[in-house]
Amino acid sequence: MSVRVWIVGVGMTPFGIHRDKTVNQLTQWAVGDALADAGAATEQIDAAFFGSATQGLLQGQVMIGGQIALREMGVQSIPVYNVENACATGVSAFGLAVNHVKAGAGDVVLAVGVEKMHVDDPARSMAVFDTGYDVSDPRALGKTLEELGGVLDEPDLGRRSIFMDIYAAMARSHIRQFGTTREQIAAVAAKNHAHAVDNPRAHYRKAMTVEEVLAARTLSFPLTVPMCAPVTDGAAAVLVCNDDGLRRLRAAGAVEVLAAVLGTGTDRDISTFDGHLSTRVSARAYAQAGIEPSEVDVAEVHDATAFAEVLQTEMLGLVEPGEGGPAAERGETALGGRIPVNPSGGLESKGHPIGASGLGQLFELTEQLRGTATGRQVEGARVALAENGGGFHRGEEAVTSVVILRKGTS
């Protein structure tokens, strides 16, 4: 007999700069809100999965971060697992929590992700991104980027994450194959900045036009600063349960988890996007959920850059290959369009606290399915999809997760 899994509580701090908050305080803020949302107490949590990708490097807490952060708010005795999976850290914690419930190991399980990336030395904050690829062979990265995007003679464009160069190379490959334009990528960024205006938890809440996006400082062609996610602090938490836990908590607004699938890359021809990791992972998720891409009403995708949204909407089957840019330009992925994508503002505007980003997506989609996303609500949303990727290895993301949710019908 299959076990149904429900999201019963969500919590999320505002994403932004929290110089006066510690990792532990951010964790407790998000978890406290998730428990309050579920009407649950700490004593009702059977297990917890704690995700952080940068705490070891930036705060020096290399081990037992979850045990320390959660003990301070009364989470004791239960199993606490610490999770790291690059930008997919939080959603990896979520997938483990879902599987923990499915396995019958607990009725009510917590997933939480947190980062405090703003520290006194900005160079240390940027250095964390240099650990998201194969550090044993750094020259291989340069060869891969050259293979993807060609040789680019650019002047010193200022401080930026290596991942902006990675996404820029992938964007140039897409431009070469499909004719995607810089204006179309800018249309994605402008859309997401507009969406974030009505998100009180977003890092940036200023609308921008396509022209303003294009006129901003270039990071690496074709990307400008507003096309890229900022360095962000924040935490997000999700409480999941089975039917027994749902009855015990008596929480309103439960959202059903139809699929939570995670996968890693394969050795493939990176000169084409055929067989991309997200295509394979999403196919498994759609099969597990028993739906087709056309049944998705709203999506949150991993737009660490605006180009990434272009790519992911295609790889997820939400638009046809090569149509990610044109669809955004036509307004199909905006609120009120055929398939709204990133109504939260996405990582570009909502922010990207690495270990919390995936759970932040689930916070947004839970609000959408509950009908409580004031100002950015997708009307009639019943099925939602979240895609969250992390790292870079041999031409694509090192890991990708796809989660599919459905409005509760318990």
Catalytic positions are 87, 352
Please list, residue by residue across 16-38, b when 16 or more beta carbons sit within 10 angstroms of its beta carbon and e when fewer do: bbbeebebbbbbbbbbebbbebb
Q: Tell me, rounded to whole angstroms, the distance of Cα 205 from its chain centroid.
A: 18
pLDDT, the chain, mean: 96
Q: What is the pLDDT of residue 155?
A: 60
Domains and their CATH numbers in the chain: 1-410 (3.40.47.10)
Cis? peptide before 226, omega within 30° of 0 = no
Cα separation of 139 and 142, whole Å?
5
Average pLDDT on 209-216 reads 98
Q: Determine the pLDDT at residue 66.
A: 98
Amino acid present at 396: E
| Percent of the residues in the chain that have a pLDDT greater than 90, as a whole number | 94
Where are the strands (E) in 265-398, listed by range? 298-300, 383-390
Per-residue pLDDT at 404: 99
CA atoms in the 13 A half-sphere facing the CB of 352: 26
User: How far is 383 from 257, CA to CA, in rounded Å?
Assistant: 10
Question: For residue 153, what pLDDT band results from cuts at 50, 70 and 90?
Answer: low
